[in-house]
């Protein structure tokens, strides 16, 4: 009993209560300052790679063959899942990654190899085992609901000869990187003695190991520096109650002591995270304003945590960043990644308006979230240089005809090509900020092309809006929108307002 009390003593010291980031400007500033440092480390990821497929469509009838919905497929998306999703999140942060895994000699394996190879800053070591099936998960989604998930997988250990080759490659990759992540999805790559041997190799190389665990036997991960179970996994691994905060902390202490972990980071879904290390216990409140999809959120946590540790951040600071990233991840669709720009927006102390400004990829994810909520998305575009009442009138009409409005904004280079070297009068950052401050604009996306055609094709808005000085036939993107059933709207113009006329008037006054 005395020994048990001694082991609990460090966590009885007062610890910061759960609080949201906004309550502590100094902590938020520290997180913002840490973001550029994430790129300074490198990570080796080894674990179970899989192929995630998302098949999107609509359901308008029930099958006459059985009482099941008929999905009319509209599009398909494939991306790396499992350990591959950890890699995607790391590369999205600009972190160099070495990735070691085993795939099958099949089409899914080829697709996965191409997807991983297409990521920036990745050195992939996807070893092929001829008789193996590459794990793939196919999700069917309609009207914002997941109707079915079909899995094809093989969970047997890697062939012994291939295992030894994999361990040699992993050892070399560890020596060239700062931190090692074991991403265990129990599909066989880390089965048997692989995980303990990797931890021993890392210890000899002086590298820290972060484990995203699976199953109830945590003896395989003994001696790891950080382990990241969720609440259910913690209860399963240690056989203790975790129904309240005190019980969860006791279970985490028992787990750390039993297996010699340096730290335990417990992800607690809507209750945030709890970090237990040699300094005590810290609780981080959930940072998710809304939850759309929890798929891959754990991968995001591990990736951001690993990036922070690799960059030399204090563990608590890295965990806080991972907590913020988790809140962003569950607000996205599918196994989506979290970028440093997403983190910066979430940590922004400038209020909500600037968070409306997104790049094309971020805009696509946001539009998909709105669409899953059943909202009608509109789109309009322009240079919006010297914003005037005519612009506001058009934007308000557009917003009134939809549930959410995306405004495409020509970049400075685009405006110069269209209007001449003397334009724009205001740089794109200023124009975007002014647009974002308007209630009519729900999202602002800058594009560099001469026309928004590519952006329209990416976002697929339900409604495309331009001024009545156009005809439907001359509106850029109209044929794209109409091809998939969208509508084109010509908004009324407010007479007497023109940026070109205003600029000409200014020039005349300057020259007079």
Averaged pLDDT for residues 206-224: 96
* Helical ranges in 177-208 per DSSP H: 194-205
pLDDT tens-place string over residues 318-360: 999 999 998 887 766 555 688 887 887 777 644 457 778 888 9
What was the pLDDT predicted at 26?
A: 66
Taking 60 as the threshold, does the pLDDT of residue 25 lie above it?
no
What was the pLDDT predicted at 15?
A: 36
CA 436 to CA 428: how far, in whole Å?
Answer: 12
Residue carrying the six token digits 């990416």: 458
pLDDT tens-place string over residues 343-353: 877 776 444 57
Taking 90 as the threshold, does the pLDDT of residue 303 lie above it?
yes
Query: Among 121-125, 219-223, 411-415, where is mean pLDDT lowest?
Result: 411-415
CA 39 to CA 308: how far, in whole Å?
Answer: 9
Residue carrying the six token digits 């808005």: 461
Is 412 known to be catalytic? no
Decide yes or no: CATH 3.40.120.10 for domain 353-511.
Answer: no
E strand or H helix at 350: none
Averaged pLDDT for residues 176-180: 97
Q: Give the phi and the psi of residue 250 in degrees, each rounded to 5.
A: -60, -40
pLDDT tens-place string over residues 375-434: 999 999 999 988 888 899 999 999 999 999 999 999 989 999 988 887 788 888 888 888
Taking 90 as the threshold, does the pLDDT of residue 128 lie above it?
yes
User: What sign does the CA torsion over 336, 339, 342, 343 have?
Assistant: positive
Query: Among 265-269, 429-433, 464-468, where is mean pLDDT lowest?
Result: 429-433
What was the pLDDT predicted at 429?
A: 82
Query: Among 39-53, 365-379, 420-434, 493-507, where is mean pLDDT lowest?
Result: 493-507
Contact between 83 and 185 under an 8 Å Cβ cutoff? The reply is: yes
Q: How many CB atoms lie within 10 A of CB 169?
A: 16
pLDDT tens-place string over residues 45-86: 999 999 999 898 889 999 999 999 999 998 888 999 999 999
What was the pLDDT predicted at 19?
A: 33
Q: Which two tokens stand for residue 98?
A: 């070495």
What was the pLDDT predicted at 163?
A: 97
- Beta bridge partners of residue 121, listed in sequence order: none
What was the pLDDT predicted at 150?
A: 96
Q: Give the phi and the psi of residue 492 in degrees, each rounded to 5.
A: -65, 145
Taking 80 as the threshold, does the pLDDT of residue 462 lie above it?
yes
CA 256 to CA 248: how far, in whole Å?
Answer: 12
Residue carrying the six token digits 């000869």: 161
What residue ranges of the chain are covered by domains with CATH 3.40.1190.20? 20-48+81-126+154-347
Residue carrying the six token digits 């995001």: 300
The class that CATH gives domain 20-48+81-126+154-347 is alpha beta
Cα–Cα distances in angstroms (integers) from residue 429 to residues 357, 381, 384, 409, 432, in the given order: 9, 16, 12, 10, 5
DSSP output for 271-298: G-EEEEETTEEEEE----S--S--TTHH
What was the pLDDT predicted at 333?
A: 56
Average pLDDT along the chain: 87
User: Sorting pLDDT into bands at 50, 70 and 90, what band is 480?
Assistant: very high
- In terms of pLDDT, which residue wins out, 207 or 341? 207
Of 464, 451, 363, 360, which is closest to residue 414 (Cα–Cα)? 451
Report the C-alpha dihedral over residues 158, 164, 165, 169, rounded to 10 degrees: 110
What was the pLDDT predicted at 338?
A: 85
- In the chain, what is the straight-line distance between the N-terminal and C-terminal CA atoms, in Å? 92
Q: Is 111 helix (H, G, I), strand (E, B) or coil?
A: helix
What residue ranges of the chain are covered by domains with CATH 3.40.50.620? 353-511
What's the pTM value of the predicted model, to 2 decimals?
A: 0.71
Q: How many CB atoms lie within 10 A of CB 198?
A: 27
User: Sorting pLDDT into bands at 50, 70 and 90, what band is 456?
Assistant: very high
Contact between 55 and 76 under an 8 Å Cβ cutoff? The reply is: yes
What was the pLDDT predicted at 6?
A: 31
* Residue in 293, 299, 342, 385 annotated catalytic: 299
Q: Which two tokens stand for residue 365?
A: 């994810």
CA 442 to CA 260: how far, in whole Å?
Answer: 49
- In terms of pLDDT, which residue wins out, 504 or 32? 32
What was the pLDDT predicted at 316?
A: 94
Taking 70 as the threshold, does the pLDDT of residue 502 lie above it?
no
Beta-strand runs (E) in 175-329: 179-183, 208-212, 226-227, 263-267, 273-277, 280-284
Q: Which two tokens stand for residue 472?
A: 């439907």
Q: Which two tokens stand for residue 226?
A: 């950080």
What was the pLDDT predicted at 64?
A: 95
CA 252 to CA 435: how far, in whole Å?
Answer: 48
E strand or H helix at 147: strand 145-152
Q: Which two tokens stand for residue 70?
A: 């008929």
Cα–Cα distances in angstroms (integers) from residue 227 to residues 16, 85, 126, 168, 324, in the given order: 22, 18, 24, 23, 18
Query: Among 225-229, 268-272, 298-302, 411-415, where is mean pLDDT lowest?
Result: 268-272
């Amino acid at each position: 009993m005395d020994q048990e009390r001694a082991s609990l003593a460090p966590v009885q010291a007062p610890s910061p209560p759960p609080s949201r980031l906004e309550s502590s400007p100094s902590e938020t500033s520290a997180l913002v300052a840490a973001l550029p440092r994430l790129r300074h480390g490198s990570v080796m990821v080894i674990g179970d790679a899989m192929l995630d497929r998302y098949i999107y469509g609509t359901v308008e009838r029930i099958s006459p063959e059985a009482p099941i919905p008929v999905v009319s497929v509209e599009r398909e998306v494939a991306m790396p899942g499992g350990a591959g999703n950890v890699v995607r999140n790391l590369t999205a942060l600009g972190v160099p990654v070495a990735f070691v895994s085993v795939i099958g000699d099949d089409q899914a394996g080829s697709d996965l190899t191409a997807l991983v190879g297409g990521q920036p800053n990745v050195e992939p070591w996807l070893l092929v085992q001829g008789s193996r099936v590459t794990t793939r998960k196919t999700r069917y989604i309609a009207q914002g609901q997941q109707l079915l998930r079909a899995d094809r997988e093989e969970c047997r250990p890697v062939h012994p000869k291939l295992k030894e080759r994999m361990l040699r490659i992993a050892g070399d990759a560890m020596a060239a990187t700062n931190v090692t992540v074991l991403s265990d999805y129990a599909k066989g790559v880390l089965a048997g003695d692989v995980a303990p041997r990797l931890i021993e190799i890392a210890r000899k190389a002086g590298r820290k190991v972060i484990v995203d665990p699976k199953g109830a036997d945590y003896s395989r991960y003994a001696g790891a520096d950080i382990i990241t179970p969720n609440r259910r996994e913690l209860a399963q691994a240690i056989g203790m109650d975790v129904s309240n905060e005190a019980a969860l902390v006791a279970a985490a202490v028992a787990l750390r002591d039993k297996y010699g972990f340096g730290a335990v980071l417990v992800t607690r879904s809507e209750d945030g995270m709890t970090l237990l290390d040699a300094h005590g216990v810290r609780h981080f409140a959930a940072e998710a304003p809304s939850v759309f999809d929890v798929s891959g959120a754990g991968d995001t946590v591990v990736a951001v945590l690993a990036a922070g540790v690799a960059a030399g951040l204090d563990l608590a600071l890295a965990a806080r960043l991972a907590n913020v990233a988790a809140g962003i991840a569950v607000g996205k669709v599918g196994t989506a990644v979290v970028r440093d720009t997403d983190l910066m927006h979430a940590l922004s102390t400038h209020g909500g308006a600037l968070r409306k400004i997104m790049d094309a990829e971020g805009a696509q994810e946001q539009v998909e979230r709105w669409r899953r909520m059943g909202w009608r998305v509109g789109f309009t575009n322009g240079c919006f240089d010297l914003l005037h009442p005519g612009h506001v009138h058009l934007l308000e009409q557009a917003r009134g005809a939809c549930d959410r409005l995306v405004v495409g904004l020509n970049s400075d280079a685009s405006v110069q090509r269209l209007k001449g070297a003397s334009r724009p009068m205001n740089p794109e950052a200023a124009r975007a900020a002014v647009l974002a401050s308007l209630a009519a604009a729900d999202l602002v996306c800058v594009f560099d092309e001469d026309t928004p055609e590519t952006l329209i094709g990416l976002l697929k808005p339900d409604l495309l809006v331009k001024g009545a000085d156009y005809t439907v036939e001359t509106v850029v993107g109209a044929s794209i929108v109409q091809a998939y059933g969208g509508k084109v709207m010509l908004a009324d113009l407010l007479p007497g307002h023109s940026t070109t006329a205003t600029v000409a008037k200014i020039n005349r006054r300057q020259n007079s």
